Amino acid sequence: MKKFRIGLIRVLTSDDQDFIDIHGRFIEERFPHLEVESRCIPDQWEGIHNHELKRIAIPKIVETAKGFKDVDMILVSCADDPGVREIREALPGIPVTGGGETTAALASRYDGKVGVLGIVDYAPEAYERMLSGRIIVAKPENVDSTLDLTTPQGRENCLKTGQLLKDAGAAVIALGCTGLTTIGITKDLEDFVGIPVIDPVLAQGVFACFEAVRRMS
């Protein structure tokens, strides 16, 4: 089977290509027929953790998307899907999606309330739109940017918040930030709370899988 090539955009600036490649490697390890080239946007060292940072990021994300050569699909590796619609307009004919709408779509398959665990106290746009009336949002204490997730305290607060969401009636947890994938918490969180957890980097990988095979005859 020919490899299906993905251009993946990180919305957190880094000069460490190993770090930039984390989401791409995560996808390649799970789906061997996908090949991921990862790039990050410039000058966004704290990523996106409010509406203003999202607004500033969008044109940079579109430019980064335009820079990929010979890719079969573009993924914006962020639960807020910044620039997804704008890339679709700028590059018609290439499939484009992001961590948010794919997580919301996978979560929609489960019955019951969806707990959204991220780094802001609002749900990402796609979760609101696609799961409206079914979501409960909670933010871990003292976690305000993706960087705060990397401390032991940040990690512990995430687990506690997961439990809180379950106690509040969530039947499934949709992670609201791809930084949670970066710290590798998905499986630990699922073991800790005992309900399914949807990882946004994996979710976009699943949709890339779908895109890779759906026109096979």
Site string for a second copy, 83-102 (x = CB under 8 A): --------------x---xx
Instruction: Give the nearest distance from C-beta 7 to a second copy in angstroms.
Output: 18
d(CA 191, CA 207): 25
By CB under 8 A, name the one of 18, 43, 194, 214 that touches a second copy.
214
By CB under 8 A, name the one of 1, 2, 18, 194 that touches a second copy.
1
Cβ–Cβ contacts within 10 Å for residue 215, how many?
Answer: 6
Q: Phi and psi (nearest 5°) for 34?
A: -105, 140
Closest C-alpha among 27, 99, 87 to residue 63: 87
Instruction: Give the nearest distance from C-beta 216 to a second copy in angstroms.
Output: 6
25 binds a second copy (CB under 8 A): no
Residue length of the chain? 217
Residue pair 140/161 in contact (Cβ under 8 Å)? The answer is yes
- Residue numbers 167-206 binding a second copy by CB under 8 A: 184, 186-187, 190, 196, 199, 202-203, 206
Maximum Cα interatomic distance, the chain, rounded to a whole number of Å: 51
Q: What residue type is 190 in one-letter code?
A: E
By CB under 8 A, name the one of 3, 25, 30, 51 that touches a second copy.
30
Residue pair 110/172 in contact (Cβ under 8 Å)? The answer is yes
Residues that bind a second copy (CB under 8 A): 1, 29-33, 97, 101-102, 104-106, 108-109, 130, 184, 186-187, 190, 196, 199, 202-203, 206-207, 209-210, 213-217
